[in-house]
Structure 1
Amino acid sequence: MVDSPFDVEIRVGEVLEAEAFPETDKPKMVKLWIDLGEEGEVQSAAQLGYAHDPEELPGKQVLCATNLGSVRIAGFKSEALTVGVPDEDGHPVLVEPSREVPLGGVLF
Protein backbone atom coordinates (compact mmCIF):
# COMPACT_ATOMS: atom_id res chain seq x y z
CA MET A 1 0.00 0.00 0.00
CA VAL A 2 1.12 3.56 -0.66
CA ASP A 3 1.52 6.16 2.07
CA SER A 4 -1.60 8.24 2.24
CA PRO A 5 -2.43 11.30 4.35
CA PHE A 6 -5.95 9.91 4.75
CA ASP A 7 -7.19 7.24 7.14
CA VAL A 8 -9.23 5.54 4.41
CA GLU A 9 -7.57 4.44 1.18
CA ILE A 10 -9.95 4.02 -1.77
CA ARG A 11 -8.62 2.20 -4.83
CA VAL A 12 -9.89 1.34 -8.28
CA GLY A 13 -10.46 -2.32 -8.97
CA GLU A 14 -12.07 -4.46 -11.65
CA VAL A 15 -14.65 -7.07 -10.71
CA LEU A 16 -13.33 -10.43 -11.86
CA GLU A 17 -16.16 -12.57 -10.56
CA ALA A 18 -19.47 -12.03 -8.78
CA GLU A 19 -22.03 -14.42 -7.38
CA ALA A 20 -25.13 -14.31 -5.21
CA PHE A 21 -24.49 -14.80 -1.49
CA PRO A 22 -27.72 -16.25 -0.04
CA GLU A 23 -25.96 -17.71 3.04
CA THR A 24 -26.06 -14.35 4.83
CA ASP A 25 -28.89 -12.91 6.89
CA LYS A 26 -28.88 -9.75 4.76
CA PRO A 27 -30.93 -9.78 1.56
CA LYS A 28 -29.38 -9.44 -1.89
CA MET A 29 -25.74 -9.87 -0.80
CA VAL A 30 -23.16 -10.52 -3.51
CA LYS A 31 -19.65 -12.02 -3.29
CA LEU A 32 -17.09 -10.10 -5.36
CA TRP A 33 -13.53 -10.93 -6.40
CA ILE A 34 -11.78 -7.69 -7.35
CA ASP A 35 -8.45 -7.14 -9.15
CA LEU A 36 -6.51 -4.17 -7.78
CA GLY A 37 -3.66 -4.43 -10.28
CA GLU A 38 -0.25 -4.53 -8.57
CA GLU A 39 -2.00 -4.55 -5.17
CA GLY A 40 -3.39 -8.01 -5.95
CA GLU A 41 -6.85 -9.51 -5.72
CA VAL A 42 -9.30 -8.94 -2.85
CA GLN A 43 -12.71 -10.28 -1.94
CA SER A 44 -15.67 -8.16 -0.95
CA ALA A 45 -19.20 -8.89 0.22
CA ALA A 46 -21.66 -6.18 -0.75
CA GLN A 47 -25.42 -5.73 -0.61
CA LEU A 48 -25.72 -4.92 -4.33
CA GLY A 49 -28.31 -7.37 -5.58
CA TYR A 50 -31.14 -4.85 -5.56
CA ALA A 51 -29.50 -2.55 -8.11
CA HIS A 52 -27.02 -4.91 -9.81
CA ASP A 53 -27.36 -8.49 -11.04
CA PRO A 54 -24.20 -10.47 -10.22
CA GLU A 55 -23.93 -11.49 -13.89
CA GLU A 56 -23.50 -7.85 -14.99
CA LEU A 57 -20.66 -7.05 -12.57
CA PRO A 58 -17.58 -8.84 -14.01
CA GLY A 59 -15.52 -6.37 -16.04
CA LYS A 60 -16.85 -3.29 -14.19
CA GLN A 61 -14.40 -0.95 -12.54
CA VAL A 62 -15.37 -0.13 -8.97
CA LEU A 63 -14.03 1.87 -6.04
CA CYS A 64 -13.27 0.09 -2.80
CA ALA A 65 -11.73 0.90 0.57
CA THR A 66 -8.78 -1.46 0.92
CA ASN A 67 -7.15 -0.63 4.26
CA LEU A 68 -9.95 -1.28 6.72
CA GLY A 69 -8.98 -4.84 7.59
CA SER A 70 -11.09 -7.89 6.87
CA VAL A 71 -14.21 -9.49 8.27
CA ARG A 72 -15.78 -12.92 7.84
CA ILE A 73 -19.37 -12.91 6.65
CA ALA A 74 -21.01 -16.35 6.64
CA GLY A 75 -17.55 -17.91 6.20
CA PHE A 76 -16.52 -15.56 3.35
CA LYS A 77 -13.50 -13.32 3.99
CA SER A 78 -14.42 -9.77 2.92
CA GLU A 79 -11.18 -7.76 2.59
CA ALA A 80 -12.45 -4.55 0.98
CA LEU A 81 -15.49 -2.30 1.28
CA THR A 82 -16.98 -1.72 -2.15
CA VAL A 83 -18.20 1.88 -2.41
CA GLY A 84 -21.77 2.72 -3.37
CA VAL A 85 -24.44 5.36 -2.94
CA PRO A 86 -28.17 4.85 -2.35
CA ASP A 87 -30.66 5.01 -5.20
CA GLU A 88 -34.15 6.50 -4.79
CA ASP A 89 -35.22 3.34 -2.90
CA GLY A 90 -32.16 3.38 -0.62
CA HIS A 91 -30.46 0.42 -2.35
CA PRO A 92 -26.69 0.62 -2.90
CA VAL A 93 -25.52 1.48 -6.42
CA LEU A 94 -21.82 1.06 -7.24
CA VAL A 95 -19.59 4.10 -7.64
CA GLU A 96 -17.59 3.72 -10.87
CA PRO A 97 -14.96 5.85 -12.63
CA SER A 98 -16.46 7.79 -15.56
CA ARG A 99 -13.91 6.17 -17.88
CA GLU A 100 -11.47 3.29 -17.63
CA VAL A 101 -8.45 4.02 -15.43
CA PRO A 102 -5.44 1.98 -14.25
CA LEU A 103 -6.26 -0.65 -11.64
CA GLY A 104 -5.05 0.05 -8.11
CA GLY A 105 -5.18 3.84 -8.54
CA VAL A 106 -5.86 5.70 -5.28
CA LEU A 107 -8.73 8.18 -5.03
CA PHE A 108 -7.50 11.67 -4.14
Structure 2
Amino acid sequence: MKAEITFEDFLKLDIRVGTIIEVHDFPKARKPAYQIKIDFGALGIRKTSAQITDLYTKEDLLNRQVTAIINFKPRQIANFMSECLILGVYNTEGNVILLKTSKKTNNGEQLR
Protein backbone atom coordinates (compact mmCIF):
# COMPACT_ATOMS: atom_id res chain seq x y z
CA MET A 1 0.00 0.00 0.00
CA LYS A 2 1.22 3.50 -0.77
CA ALA A 3 1.58 6.29 1.75
CA GLU A 4 -1.63 7.70 3.18
CA ILE A 5 -2.82 10.98 1.69
CA THR A 6 -5.39 13.52 2.82
CA PHE A 7 -8.75 14.13 1.20
CA GLU A 8 -7.38 17.51 0.11
CA ASP A 9 -4.61 15.66 -1.78
CA PHE A 10 -7.26 13.62 -3.60
CA LEU A 11 -9.21 16.77 -4.50
CA LYS A 12 -6.15 18.06 -6.37
CA LEU A 13 -6.64 15.33 -9.00
CA ASP A 14 -8.85 16.29 -11.94
CA ILE A 15 -10.24 12.96 -13.16
CA ARG A 16 -12.48 13.17 -16.22
CA VAL A 17 -14.23 10.96 -18.75
CA GLY A 18 -13.25 11.26 -22.40
CA THR A 19 -13.62 9.39 -25.67
CA ILE A 20 -10.64 8.09 -27.62
CA ILE A 21 -10.71 9.64 -31.09
CA GLU A 22 -7.31 8.55 -32.49
CA VAL A 23 -4.92 5.66 -31.81
CA HIS A 24 -1.52 5.17 -33.43
CA ASP A 25 1.41 2.83 -32.86
CA PHE A 26 4.29 4.44 -30.92
CA PRO A 27 7.45 2.79 -32.29
CA LYS A 28 9.83 5.14 -30.41
CA ALA A 29 8.50 4.12 -26.98
CA ARG A 30 10.79 1.85 -24.92
CA LYS A 31 7.96 -0.61 -24.27
CA PRO A 32 5.13 -1.31 -26.75
CA ALA A 33 2.63 1.55 -26.54
CA TYR A 34 0.06 3.58 -28.39
CA GLN A 35 -0.18 7.32 -28.97
CA ILE A 36 -3.77 8.28 -28.16
CA LYS A 37 -5.91 11.39 -28.56
CA ILE A 38 -8.87 11.78 -26.20
CA ASP A 39 -11.82 14.17 -26.53
CA PHE A 40 -12.74 15.72 -23.17
CA GLY A 41 -15.61 17.82 -24.52
CA ALA A 42 -15.40 21.50 -23.58
CA LEU A 43 -11.96 20.86 -22.03
CA GLY A 44 -10.56 19.98 -25.45
CA ILE A 45 -8.49 17.16 -26.86
CA ARG A 46 -5.50 15.76 -24.97
CA LYS A 47 -2.74 13.38 -26.05
CA THR A 48 -1.29 10.53 -24.08
CA SER A 49 0.85 7.44 -24.45
CA ALA A 50 -0.37 4.14 -23.02
CA GLN A 51 1.31 0.74 -22.64
CA ILE A 52 -1.88 -1.21 -23.28
CA THR A 53 -1.00 -3.08 -26.47
CA ASP A 54 -1.21 -6.54 -24.85
CA LEU A 55 -4.97 -6.43 -24.20
CA TYR A 56 -6.27 -3.75 -26.58
CA THR A 57 -6.03 -3.30 -30.32
CA LYS A 58 -6.27 0.12 -31.93
CA GLU A 59 -9.73 -0.86 -33.15
CA ASP A 60 -10.80 -1.85 -29.59
CA LEU A 61 -9.80 1.58 -28.31
CA LEU A 62 -11.26 3.84 -30.99
CA ASN A 63 -14.46 5.54 -29.71
CA ARG A 64 -14.05 3.93 -26.27
CA GLN A 65 -14.72 6.05 -23.20
CA VAL A 66 -11.93 6.13 -20.63
CA THR A 67 -11.20 7.91 -17.36
CA ALA A 68 -8.04 9.98 -17.10
CA ILE A 69 -6.23 12.43 -14.88
CA ILE A 70 -6.00 15.61 -16.92
CA ASN A 71 -4.12 17.99 -14.62
CA PHE A 72 -0.69 16.37 -14.56
CA LYS A 73 2.10 18.48 -15.99
CA PRO A 74 2.84 17.36 -19.57
CA ARG A 75 5.51 14.64 -19.73
CA GLN A 76 7.94 13.98 -22.56
CA ILE A 77 7.97 10.34 -23.68
CA ALA A 78 10.52 9.84 -26.48
CA ASN A 79 9.49 12.36 -29.14
CA PHE A 80 5.91 12.70 -27.81
CA MET A 81 4.37 15.01 -25.19
CA SER A 82 1.84 13.22 -22.96
CA GLU A 83 -0.84 15.55 -21.54
CA CYS A 84 -2.97 13.21 -19.41
CA LEU A 85 -2.92 9.76 -17.79
CA ILE A 86 -5.50 7.09 -18.65
CA LEU A 87 -6.50 5.12 -15.56
CA GLY A 88 -6.39 1.35 -15.31
CA VAL A 89 -5.49 -1.51 -13.02
CA TYR A 90 -2.83 -4.18 -13.45
CA ASN A 91 -4.13 -7.73 -13.67
CA THR A 92 -2.18 -10.71 -12.31
CA GLU A 93 -0.29 -11.03 -15.63
CA GLY A 94 0.91 -7.42 -15.35
CA ASN A 95 -1.32 -6.05 -18.11
CA VAL A 96 -3.37 -2.86 -17.74
CA ILE A 97 -7.17 -3.13 -17.76
CA LEU A 98 -8.75 0.25 -18.43
CA LEU A 99 -11.28 1.78 -16.04
CA LYS A 100 -14.56 2.99 -17.47
CA THR A 101 -17.94 4.22 -16.35
CA SER A 102 -20.81 1.74 -16.12
CA LYS A 103 -22.97 3.95 -18.39
CA LYS A 104 -22.19 6.31 -21.27
CA THR A 105 -21.13 9.69 -19.91
CA ASN A 106 -20.64 13.09 -21.48
CA ASN A 107 -17.05 13.84 -22.39
CA GLY A 108 -15.43 16.03 -19.75
CA GLU A 109 -17.61 14.84 -16.86
CA GLN A 110 -15.62 14.89 -13.63
CA LEU A 111 -15.15 12.13 -11.06
CA ARG A 112 -16.45 13.38 -7.71
Please indicate, yes or no, whether the TM-score normalized by the shorter chain is above 0.5: yes
The residue number in structure 2 matching 1:16 is: 21
Match of residue 75, structure 2, among 49, 71, 75: 71
Shift of 1:60: 0.3
The residue number in structure 2 matching 1:105 is: 109
The residue number in structure 1 matching 2:7 is: none
Unaligned runs of 5+ in 1: none
The residue number in structure 2 matching 1:87 is: 91
Determine the C-alpha separation between the residues in 2 that align with 1:61 and 1:25: 26
Unaligned runs of 5+ in 2: 1-9
**Is the contact between residue 19 and residue 55 of structure 1 (CA under 8 Å) also seen in structure 2?**
no
Aligned residue identity for 1:11: R
Q: Which moves more between the two structures, 79-88 or 35-44?
A: 79-88
Where has structure 1 moved over 3 Å in runs of 4 or more? none
Determine the C-alpha separation between the residues in 1 that align with 2:102 and 2:25: 26
Shift of 1:87: 1.9
Determine the C-alpha separation between the residues in 2 that align with 1:102 and 1:79: 20
| Structure 2 residue matching 1:31: 3-state secondary structure | strand
Aligned residue identity for 1:39: L
The residue number in structure 1 matching 2:5 is: none
TM-score (norm 1): 0.90
**Which is greater in Rg?**
2
Tell me how many residue pairs correspond in the alignment: 103
**Is the contact between residue 18 and residue 33 of structure 1 (CA under 8 Å) also seen in structure 2?**
yes
Structure 1 vs Structure 2 CA RMSD: 1.1
Determine the C-alpha separation between the residues in 1 that align with 2:22 and 2:84: 15
